[in-house]
Amino acid sequence: MALISFDNVSKRYPSGQEALSNVSFTLREGEMAFLTGHSGAGKSTLLRMIMLMERPSQGQLVVGDQNLSRLPRRELPYHRRRIGVVFQNHQLLFDRSVFDNVVLPLQICGYDTEDASRRVRAALNKVGLLDKERLNPISLSSGEQQRVGIARAIVHKPQVLLADEPTGNLDPQLSEEIMKLFQQFNRVGTTVLIASHDLGLIERMRHRTLVLRNGRLIADGRG
Ligand code: ADP
Ligand code: ADP
């Protein structure tokens, strides 16, 4: 079943820049795919559209049973809860502990404290950082910081996990470890879409790869 479906989607920013042109593809529930292309090709724009941080200028974008062009404003928080996002610079808060960073999405969703604690520990356990929950993330290595970012993205059990250059600041070995974590979440049913320009890494992972060039989808196949 298609979970994410782009049908002739174009995006023109108010500046006039056309970031995506007539992009069509579907991502099935439980699938894992990479999104690649040069800097400025439109990768971040495509991910931001799935989160509805940007709206299509033309075309239809459907996530689950929601046509995002017609999503009422009041439904936006529910839509966002289905999605977890990992950023390149992980966007952790350095004024609080690892635990308090990961619990944030649950606090926003209104989980009670006990349930939230249990879920945070489960998430930290999955990324191998249970013993660091009380530390400030600033004292962690960059690979560990990225794993905290991943725990925060999956703590609310999202249906879809999106990542924008999640290994951009990591060496090859750490990058591979991070990718294995994504595969691990994919194996238990999470649909995963990762934007990356690390072609060597993408090839080694052997997943479906969507290639953007100047906003157009020019290839879609096995890496
Ligand atoms: P990538 O993630 O592949 O580097 P982006 O989606 O960030 O590509 O950018 C695609 C194109 O759209 C680029 O030309 C970029 O400068 C432009 N762009 C991205 N965000 C905005 C924005 N908020 N306003 C105007 N232009 C933008
Ligand atoms: P990436 O590292 O994914 O290529 P960008 O540098 O394209 O990221 O974008 C970083 C931020 O700057 C985004 O929030 C994007 O909306 C904004 N942005 C990118 N290009 C432009 C642009 N030409 N005009 C205005 N905002 C932009």
Hey, how many other C-beta atoms are within 10 angstroms of the C-beta on 128?
13
Tokens of 132: 């660091």
Query: Where is the domain boundary, 114, 129, 157?
Result: 157
- 95 and 111 housed in the same domain: yes
Is residue 91 within 8 A of residue 149, CB to CB? The reply is yes
| pLDDT, tens digit (0-9, with 9 covering 90-100), for 153-181 | 999 999 999 999 999 878 999 999 999 99
Which atom number of ligand 1 is nearest to the Cα of residue 47?
6
Residue range 70-91: mean pLDDT, rounded: 90
Q: CB of 77 closer than 6 A to ligand 1?
A: no
Both 3 and 72 in a single domain?
Answer: yes
Give me the pLDDT at residue 20, please. Answer: 98
Q: Quick one: 68 and 169 in the same domain?
A: yes
Same domain, 50 and 100: no
| Same domain, yes or no: 131 and 22 | no
Question: What is the residue with the minimal CA distance to atom 1 of ligand 2?
Answer: 44
CB 13 within 8 A of CB 19: yes
Q: What is the DSSP string of 115-139?
A: HHHHHHHHHHHHTT-GGGTTS-GGG
Ligand 2: atom nearest CA of 43 is 3
Handedness of CA 55, 59, 65, 70 (dihedral sign): positive
Query: What is the residue-averaged pLDDT of the chain?
Result: 95
Residue type, 161: L
Protein residue whose Cα sits closest to atom 13 of ligand 2: 44
Any ligand 1 atom below 6 A from CB of 211 = no
Residues 33-62 pLDDT 10s: 999 999 999 999 999 999 999 999 999 999
Q: Which two tokens stand for residue 166?
A: 């999640």
Q: How far is the CA of 162 from the centre of ligand 1 (A)?
A: 17
Q: Are residues 145 and 176 in the same domain?
A: no
For residues 73 and 100, the model is more confident at 100
Q: pLDDT exceeding 70 applies to what percent of the chain? A: 100
| Shared domain check, 138 and 66 | no
Distance in angstroms (rounded) separating the CA atoms of residues 127 and 140 = 14
| pLDDT at residue 1, rounded to an integer | 85
**How far apart are the C-alpha atoms of 156 and 84, rounded to whole Å?**
8
Q: How far apart are CA 49 and CA 56, in angstroms?
A: 7
Atom of ligand 2 nearest to the CA of 45: 16
How much helix, strand and coil, in percent to the nearest 5, is found in the chain? 40, 30, 30
Q: Which of 122, 157, 192 is the last residue of a domain?
A: 157
Give the mutation target among 44, 86, 90 for probing the ligand 2 site: most ligand atoms within 8 A of CB.
44
- Rounded to 5 degrees, φ, ψ at 221 are -170, -175
For ligand 2, atom 6, the nearest C-alpha belongs to 40
Q: In the structure, which protein residues have their CB atom closer than 6 angstroms to any atom of ligand 2?
A: 15, 17, 39, 44, 164
pLDDT (tens digit, 9 = 90+) per residue, 123-160? 999 999 999 999 999 999 999 999 999 999 999 999 99
| Total number of domains constituting the chain | 2
- Structural domain of 144: 89-157
End position of a domain, from candidates 141, 157, 173 = 157
Q: What percent of the chain has pLDDT over 90?
A: 89
**Which mutation among 17, 53, 162, 194 tests ligand 1's pocket best, with the greatest number of atoms within 8 A of CB?**
17
* Whether residues 19 and 112 fall in one domain: no
Question: Which residues partner with 195 through β-bridges?
Answer: 35, 164
The number of the ligand 1 atom at minimal distance from the alpha carbon of 195 is 2
Are 151 and 164 within one domain? no
> How much is the pTM?
0.90
Q: What residues contact residue 130 under an 8 Å CB cut-off, 6+ apart?
A: 121, 124
Residue 223 has pLDDT above 60, yes or no: no
